[in-house]
Amino acid sequence: MRRRIVLFIIITLCFLLQTTLFKTLSFANISPNLLIIAVSSFGFMRGKKEGLWVGFFCGLLIDIFCGNYIGLYALIYMYIGFINGLFQKRFYPDDIKLPMLLIGGSDLFYNLVVYFFMFLLRGRFSFLYYLKSIIIPEFVYTMVISILLYLVFLKLNQKLEAYEKRRAKKFDL
């Protein structure tokens, strides 16, 4: 139960920071995608199932408050969480290279899917402009922020796992 409350608080904080504070701190109308960092991190640390659920709720928040279509972002984030959860067996808390690679790949995947559904299907074929002005700057900004944010998520996850182990040990006979 504690994990769910903490995840709810993290998702809410990331959403609020992404849509308020980082919108004002944007460079050339580009802000980092904190929800991608959260979904990728928790999918990678906790597995496919938790990544899928965290992705669903992050995407649903974006759909409800920012999106044009209900369900599109929830589906994209669910896939991102699930795919990152496939790498849980390769999770080592000391190694930061694989999480950064997965967060960067998730951000690129997200932007390419958004381009496909929001621009390409509506006849806007200027992919190079979208790549130069949105995908690459957002990728760089997200990667810079993810270095700090991933370490915070890692420490929170370790504390939650230690609490769960102590609690489970208390009930062992």
- Where would I find the beta strands (DSSP E) of 55-110? none
| Per-residue pLDDT, 173 | 55
Buried b (16+ CB within 10 A) or exposed e, 18-54: bbeebeeeeeeebbbbbbbbbbbbbbbbbbbebbbbb
Angle at 26 between CA 100 and CA 32, to 5 degrees: 20
* CATH number of the domain encompassing residue 25: 1.10.1760.20
Q: How many domains does the chain have?
A: 1
| DSSP state, residue 129 | H
Please report, for residues 24, 78, 80, 114, 162, the alpha-carbon distance to residue 51 in angstroms, rounded to integers and kept in the order given. Answer: 29, 7, 8, 20, 20
pTM: 0.90
Q: What is the mean pLDDT of residues 23-51?
A: 90
Give the pLDDT of residue 172: 67
Averaged pLDDT, 39-62 = 94
Mean pLDDT of the chain: 90
pLDDT in tens, 51-90: 999 999 999 999 999 877 888 999 999 999 999 999 998 8
Q: State the pLDDT confidence band at 101, using cuts at 50, 70 and 90.
A: very high
Output phi, psi for 27, to 5 deg: -105, 120
Residue at token pair 């992404």: 18
Domain of 45 in residue numbering reads as 2-171
Q: What is the mean pLDDT of residues 11-22?
A: 92
Confidence grade of residue 124 (pLDDT, cut at 50, 70, 90): confident
